[in-house]
Amino acid sequence: MRKAIVLLSRALTLRCPACAGGPLFTHWVQVRSVCPGCRLKLERDEGHFVGAIFFNLVASELVWIVGLVATVIWTWPNPPWTMITVVSIVAMILFPVFFYPFSRTLFYALDLYFQPVQKREFPGEL
C-alpha cells in the first residue's frame, strides 16, 4: 500500500512516479520522451498513452455526472436546463485539457505499480 501511495503522490505533482524527477512535461500537453531524473522511457510500449486517454475520459464523465446530479438536486423542482447545458458543454471541453497531464502521470504510476521497471526501458539498454 505504501508503494501505491508514493507512486500516486508523485503522479499528482506531475513528477516521475519512479524517481520523483521532473518536470515530465515541456508544455501542458507535451510529455518528454524520457524522465529527466532517471532517464526512464515514458512511453513504455507502443500505444501506452491510450490508458491515459481512458483515465481522462472516465474522470471527465464522473465530474460531469456529479455536477449534473448535484445541480439538479440543489435546484429542484425547477432546474435551469439552459444553464446546465451551457456549463456542461464548456466543462466537457475544458476539463479534459486541464486533467490531461494528471491522467498521463496517474496512468504511468498505475502501470509502474503493476508492471515494475525493466532494464530495457532505459535508453541504450537491451
Residue 126 lies in a domain: no
pLDDT tens, position by position, 8-20: 999 999 998 988 8
In the structure grid, which three cell numbers stand for residue 22, read together?
521532473
Closest CA to 122 of 46, 33, 51, 48: 33
Does some domain include residue 123?
A: no
If one counts the domains in the chain, the total is 1
Q: In terms of pTM, does the model score above 0.75?
A: yes
Q: Which residue range(s) make up the domain with 105?
A: 2-118
Q: Is residue 91 part of a domain?
A: yes
Cell numbers 491510450: residue? 50
Question: pLDDT tens-digit profile of 76-98?
Answer: 999 999 999 999 999 999 999 99
